[in-house]
Amino acid sequence: MAANARHALCSCLTVAAASLVLCTSHASEAPVAPVAMDATLLRGLGLQRVAPYRKDITLSGLQRLSASQLFEGAITIDVWETQDGGTLLLKDYPFDQYVHVLHGSTTLTPAGGRARSFAAGDSFVLPRGFRGTWTVSKRFREILIIESKSLKEGISQFE
């Protein structure tokens, strides 16, 4: 076999071997699959205690809080609950947040605007920049979805 032909054959075998390694390593990774939401957590069982919000934004209650993360990727999905209800003063809400009320009720009142109430089974979006109050009933539980990067950047407003 001529030297050029051997070189070409060796180059092809090297590329083929490298491709096989790449395909094999990719094939061994778990496939992307749907993630089921934990029904126990959605019912409020097994949630972890979390610290209360800062005092300067807590107008009343909200001392007995619990939450658990259901998913984190480009979005974060959490279950959040309060046992004692209360009201937060929001000055410039740092992210867009989708909320589905699982238990209890909530009322959001924009500064200078009209109150909107939501009960179990209702969904709403609290947009970035909201200013006003957020009141939740005793034993309020929600599932919330926030874009993960925005959550990491804005969470300090509450801690």
User: Which of 12-26, 28-42, 43-57, 120-134 is most confident?
Assistant: 120-134
DSSP state at residue 130: -
Pair 92, 144: CB distance under 8 Å:
no
Q: What is the CA radius of gyration of the chain?
A: 25
Q: Cα–Cα distances in Å, from 107 out to 17, 87, 154, 158?
A: 62, 9, 22, 19
Tell me the two tokens of residue 5: 């032909």
Classified as helix, coil or strand, 122 is coil
Q: How far apart are CA 8 and CA 48, in angstroms?
A: 61
Pair 23, 131: CB distance under 8 Å:
no
Q: What is the pLDDT of residues 54-63, one digit of tens each?
A: 898 889 888 8
Q: What is the pLDDT of residues 33-78, one digit of tens each?
A: 999 899 999 999 999 998 888 898 889 888 889 999 999 999 999 9
Within a 10 A sphere around the Cβ of 76, how many other Cβ atoms?
Answer: 20
Please tell me the predicted confidence (pLDDT) of residue 16.
34
Whole-model pTM: value is 0.77
Q: How far apart are CA 74 and CA 88, in angstroms?
A: 27
Please tell me the predicted confidence (pLDDT) of residue 13.
31
Please tell me the predicted confidence (pLDDT) of residue 81.
94
* pLDDT tops 60 at residue 22: no
